[in-house]
Structure formats: C-alpha cells, structure tokens
Amino acid sequence: MKCPNCGKRTAIDLDLHSEGFTSDENPVKECGACGLVWRHQSIKGKPEIDIIKPARRE
C-alpha cells in the first residue's frame, strides 16, 4: 500500500489486538520510510484516511 504522506510503498501492517477488539477491516499501517501511522476507514460510505501518528520531520 502506498503511504499517503511520502508515496513510498514500504508500509508495515501493525497487529493491534486487545481483548474484544480487532482491526481486521481497517488495519493500521506504518510507513517504513517516513514513520507515518495511518489506517483507511469508511465514514458514511466515503473512504477516509485516519492519521494516528504524524510522519517524523527530518
């Protein structure tokens, strides 16, 4: 998957499971190049990108 910040394709799936919660529908991704953490979700049928942690500044 392409990073919405830098456009690189070095995304890593993060396995975030706790009791009673799984994110199989909207997996959390981390960019290996810029560090952005995000997930794709659908709000009222419209695809959205939810930024969890901004990219690191260099």
Using CA atoms, how far residue 8 sits from 22, 35, 48, 49, 50, in Å, is: 26, 11, 19, 16, 18
For the chain, the average pLDDT equals 80
Tell me the pLDDT band of 17, cut-offs 50, 70 and 90. Answer: low
End-to-end Cα spacing for the chain: 23
pLDDT digits (tens, 9 = 90+) for 2-16: 899 999 988 777 666
Q: Looking at per-residue confidence, does 41 or 12 come out higher? A: 41
Tell me the pLDDT band of 23, cut-offs 50, 70 and 90. Answer: low
